[in-house]
Homo-oligomer: A and B are copies of this chain.
Amino acid sequence: MEIRNATDSDWAEMWRFVRPILAAGDTYCWPRDSSEDAARLWWMGKAGGRVLVAIDGGTVVGTAEIHPNQPAAGSHVANAGFMVASSAAGRGVGRALANRVLELAAEDGYLAMQFNAVVETNTNAIRLWESLGFQILATVPEAFMHPERGLVGLHIMHRLLREG
């Protein structure tokens, strides 16, 4: 598996799994019926952001993006997003992307990484982040409208990136 910076020409392959992930509506606060253009701008157009893709067998099987969680006085804390094609589940794509994102965020000078909205029913993601040293700082109650479960909590997760 190769992980590299995304290019504009990767988007068509990314959209093949981004679209069903958004349509499922159980992991991201983004419209389930998002247009392709809006989804691309959301994922690839964040201020100060960078986008990665994971390539396996010549195909884009996952993507991650890193961006400042806040501007200016808060821009030393990174935020990140991750998506993996369901066809590539179980192959460690998410973990490989996460490790690379943590490396790159530290290289880019970020001091910490924060997730604002990890859906509390997304247990695979939570397990991954906890195994990589993230802590749940808080759970915002009833902050996410899950398509099957109704209102569920959103975890705020955090990890320092500096060496002890």
Which residues from chain A sit less than 8 Å from chain B, CB to CB?
Answer: 25, 28-32, 69-77, 111-112, 114, 116-117, 137-146, 151, 154, 156, 158, 160
Contact = CB atoms under 8 A, between A and B. Distances in A.
Copies of chain A in the complex: 2
Given A137-B156, A156-B137, A143 B74 contact: yes
A31 B71 contact: yes
Nearest to A34: B72
Give chain A's interface secondary structure class: strand
A68 to B, nearest CB: 9
A134 to B, nearest CB: 12
Contact of A112 (B31, B75, B143): B143
Contacts of A76: 145, 151
Contacts of A72: 25, 29-32
A139 B137 CA distance: 8
A114 B137 contact: no
B140 A77 contact: yes
Contacts of A114: 140, 143
Nearest to A119: B73
